[in-house]
Amino acid sequence: MVHDVIIVGGSYAGLSAGLQLARARRTVLVIDAGQRRNRFAATSHGFLGQDGQAPEAIAAEGRSQLMEYPSVTWVQDFVRVASAQPHGFSVHTECSGEFKAKRLILATGVVDELPAIEGLAERWGTRVFHCPYCHGYELDQGRIGVLATSALAMHHALMLPDWGATTLFTDGVFTPDAEQQAQLQRRGVSVESGRVRCIQGERADLQLHDGRVFALDGIFTMSRTRISALAQQLGCELAEGPTGPYLHTNETRQTSVAGVFACGDTSLAAGSVALAVAEGVRAGVGAHFSLISQG
Ligand code: FAD
Ligand code: MG
């Protein structure tokens, strides 16, 4: 069977794209490996109507509503290979074999590569975050650390005083110049230039190599983000974002490869649940228009 559309990634972006196509009575196959980016957090914030909900609950409700449509099929699996074929596209999964479709939507999100600091990974999503809008409010104006992974930490450091007393830990990654120092001072940010040894304790206490420990309620840092290998296999053009590459798309969310669409974190410089849902609408409609105009 050749599906109208295969959507790789069945989280917020993929579900939202699928919903538009299902409502147009198109056949849709969603293939999802179930590794949502926000699975480390207990609550999701900033998405209207779902603020404070569990990330899994939002996705599960979307999934159950989508699966009410009879033209939608779901396969829990990981797509290893995707390629263009005369009929459209073919994908090979880890466990369930090959599937074919006329159009492909990549809603594969990103993978966060975290700074290699002892105690950081196990606090990701509970005490260590990347997005102040998502998790800053819950720190109750407590003590906040910004852990630099590049000079872009300035961005975090200047924002975070709105959420609590902020210390920038430069960790030897960069040295603020005179103008940056003045900006930090204006925002009341303290700066510590020592190398970071580890994060420890019940919350997110940060220890420097010189032995000093800073009691913190939360830490903000920037991961490097990695997109799916499928994009490269298909030959999709990339754009360079502040944390890593993302898929370049046009106004219909088609990539540089005709028939391949993309939505959500994988095609944004910086994403969120709300943006993934919105971009999914555009990609779903974009793929539908493409089927109408080119069969
Ligand atoms: P994802 O939700 O990451 O889903 C991608 C899906 O594609 C996954 O299920 C994955 O397994 C699947 N997939 C990938 N490759 C393949 C493949 N080859 N084959 C099959 N399946 C594949 N945003 C907010 O708006 N509010 C918050 O409070 C918030 N908190 C966050 C907390 C943390 C710790 C992190 C890291 C992020 C948070 N975010 C938050 C951001 C949010 O998680 C993302 O913006 C959102 O998940 C993007 O949705 P998506 O559908 O594009 O990708
Ligand atoms: Mg998705």
List helix spans (H) across the chain. 12-23, 55-66, 132-135, 153-159, 178-186, 229-234, 273-294
Q: Whose CA is nearest to atom 38 of ligand 1?
A: 38
Predicted pLDDT of residue 295: 74
DSSP for 72-95, please give it.
Answer: EEEEE--EEEEEEETTEEEEEESS
- DSSP string of 164-175, one letter each residue: SEEEEE-TTT--
Query: What atom of ligand 1 comes closest to residue 228's alpha carbon?
Result: 15
Cβ(288) to ligand 1 under 6 A?
Answer: no
* 3-state DSSP assignment of residue 74: strand
Q: 132 CB less than 6 Å from ligand 1?
A: no
Find the 11 Cα to ligand 1 centroid distance in Å. Answer: 7
pLDDT at 87: 83
Is the model's pLDDT at 294 over the cut of 90?
no
Q: Give Dmax (Cα) for the chain.
A: 66
Strand partners, 221: 147
Closest CA to 17 of 107, 109, 108: 107
Residue 169 CA to its chain's centroid (Å): 24
Ligand nearest to the CA of 228: 1
Average pLDDT of the residues in 37-42: 98
Nearest atom within ligand 1 for CA of residue 264? 52
Average pLDDT, the chain: 97
Q: Is the CB of 58 under 6 A from ligand 1?
A: no
Q: Is the CB of 267 under 6 A from ligand 1?
A: no
Average pLDDT over residues 34-46: 98
Q: Which atom of ligand 1 is nearest to the CA of 230?
A: 18
Q: What is the pLDDT of residues 50-73, one digit of tens each?
A: 999 999 999 999 999 999 999 999
Averaged pLDDT, 206-227: 98
Token pair for 195: 């190398």
Buried b (16+ CB within 10 A) or exposed e, 6-15: bbbbbbbbbb
Share of the chain above pLDDT 70, in %: 100
pLDDT mean over 110-139: 97
| DSSP of 197-248 | EEEETTTTEEEETTS-EE--SEEEE--EEE--HHHHHHT--EEE-SSSEEE-
For position 150, what pLDDT does the model report?
95
- Indicate which residue's Cα is closest to atom 18 of ligand 1: 79
Of all protein residues, the one whose alpha carbon is nearest to atom 28 of ligand 1 is 44
Which comes out higher in pLDDT, residue 294 or 192?
192
Q: Is the pLDDT of residue 129 over 90?
A: yes
What ligand 1 atom has the least distance to the C-alpha of 266?
52
Instruction: Give residue 212's pLDDT.
Output: 98
First to last CA, the chain: 16
| Ligand sitting nearest the alpha carbon of 34 | 1
The residue written with tokens 């899994």 in the block is 56
148 vs 220: CA distance, rounded Å = 9
Kindly state the average pLDDT of the residues 26-45: 98
Is the full-model pTM beyond 0.95?
yes
Tell whether ligand 1 has an atom less than 6 A from the beta carbon of residue 222: no
Tokens at 245, concatenated: 């590459």
Q: Contact at 8 Å (CB) between 171 and 147?
A: yes
> Ligand 1 centroid to 4 CA: how many Å?
24
Ligand 1 atom at minimum distance from 223 CA: 36
**Atom 6 of ligand 1: nearest residue by CA position:** 9
